[in-house]
Chains A and B, each alone.
Chain A
Amino acid sequence: MATRNLHRFANPARFMRLAGAALPWCAGATAVLFAAGLYLAILASPPDYQQGETVRIMYVHVPAAWMALFVYVSIAAASLAAIVWRHPLAELYAKAASPIGAIFTLLALVTGSLWGQPMWGTWWVWDARLTSVLVLFFLYLGHIALMDAFDDTARGARAAAILALVGVVNVPVIKFSVDWWHTLHQPASVLRLDGPAIHPSMLAPLLVMAAAFTSFGALVVILRLETEIARRRARRLAAEGAGG
């Protein structure tokens, strides 16, 4: 039953219709959420009593890091669907989402570095959290490069799907690195069993920014998927034209 539902969305034509309908909503939500999130994060939220104004970097850094992981997990899930059920859209999704995840990872690394310089006194430390996120970035780069390394696109997609699944071992390492090792990076303060350890005046802008990042990610993924489907259709039509 679940597989049948999965396959209802495998038809690219149906997906294009749905995506076309969802796209303006996504774009609107992204604009509204970013406007609200940036206002809350930059103007309406208080400076931290220790970190001062630099705490505002957190409102970009944390959502970017969440998205970096979320996009990777979604690519791995899509890769599983692509390998097990030969789901055609899952394969396209992995191709469309991978560069976006890489950019989010880079954003998390760069903003973290900008925050680390005034707070820790250094741009970079080799602790487990930073290292495992750097590994994630290189996994993304490898995934992108592997997908593009073959003349046969199907072969590249299969190889990249296997790589994405192998790379899943890195995900728990990133999540729990702050608990397993004594890292300089602080442990989780939002997703905790005993409730968030962050003041509501800072939690609200953080969550709005996270929602803004998510809807921005969805927007770009849909755009890239539409482009890829259109490109493949154009290539097929050109091949048919040349053959006929």
Chain B
Amino acid sequence: MTGPLALFRRDLRLALRHGSDALAVVAFFAFSAVLFAFAIGPEQLGGVAAGAAWVIALLSVLLSLDRLFQADYEDGSLDQLALAPAPLAAFVVAKLAAHWLATAIPLLFAVPAIALLLRLDHDALGALLVSLALGTPTLVILGAIGAALTLGARRGSVLQALLVLPLEVPVLVFGAGAAFGDPETIETAVTVLGAMLMAALAVGPAAISAALRAALS
């Protein structure tokens, strides 16, 4: 398993050296919160804060995945990964893990500040953080399916959003459900979020590598 591990290290190192990429995603995340604050107005903002935070987190993750496989596809690394002895799905998992660490973790660190901008109740911050920590890996996997399917397509990013957003609806429903922190439903919502992550981990890498092979053939 040295191959996938090396890819994981390479992607993480690349992400750290191009730190501005991750920063841009965080900046998008933060500024979308500002847009929500202006559009909804200070009075009602607190009531919708958890849901708004989830929507903009979802869109930020989706935007960050836009060109996930593009560079590897163009410079031929993807062909080499597909030919390597380790299964392509293992490389996909390594790539996604690195991407999640490099973009979702900074997002999570930005969440308290976002919560402040959106006037989120202080007690609800914990539920929001837990739901996002559990939900963002699933969003990364689903978004990566879209990125792999649209590799080399005309107007790839709009198409990617069209493909991925319907699939992400359940994650948003239960993620925001957990983030609103209703004590009666939070346990169910967190459990379902975990279950969806497990299901995405089981199915996602296989689907992504099949889509990548279709792009390479």
Contacts and interface: CB of A to CB of B under 8 A. Distances in A.
B169 interface: yes
User: Nearest 8 pairs between A and B by C-beta?
Assistant: A158-B214, A149-B153, A138-B166, A142-B163, A135-B166, A159-B149, A142-B162, A162-B211
A170 B145 CA distance: 16
Count chain B CB atoms within 10 A of each CB in A138, A142, A170 and give the residue with the most: A142
Nearest to A140: B166
A166 B152 contact: no
Interface string B146-183: 00011011111001001101110110010000000000
Interface in A133-186: 135, 138-139, 141-142, 145-146, 149-151, 155, 158-159, 162-163, 165-167, 169-170, 173
B97 interface: no
A146 B149 contact: yes
A125 to B, nearest CB: 14
A107 interface: no
B206 to A, nearest CB: 10
A83 B210 contact: yes
Given A139-B166, A145-B162, A150 B153 contact: yes
Contacts of B154: 149-151
B169 A131 contact: yes
Task: Bin the interface of chain B by size.
Answer: 20 to 34
Task: Bin the interface of chain A by size.
Answer: 20 to 34
A142 B167 CA distance: 11
A169 B171 CA distance: 13
A167 B215 contact: no
Nearest to B154: A149
Contacts of A155: 152, 214-215, 217
A145 B157 CA distance: 12
A159 B166 contact: no
B111 to A, nearest CB: 26
Contacts of B215: 155, 159
7 contacts: A135-B166, A138-B166, A146-B150, A149-B150, A149-B159, A155-B214, A166-B207
Nearest to A155: B214
B165 A162 contact: no
A93 B143 CA distance: 27
Given A141-B162, A155-B217, A165-B207, 19 more contacts: A135-B166, A135-B167, A138-B162, A139-B166, A139-B167, A145-B159, A145-B163, A146-B163, A149-B154, A149-B155, A150-B152, A150-B154, A155-B214, A158-B214, A158-B217, A159-B211, A162-B207, A166-B207, A167-B167
B149 A135 contact: no
Interface string A213-231: 0000000000000000000
B145 A159 contact: no
A151 B152 CA distance: 9
B203 interface: yes
B150 A138 contact: no
B210 A162 contact: yes
A146 B166 contact: no
Nearest to A136: B166
A154 B101 CA distance: 35
A142 B153 contact: no
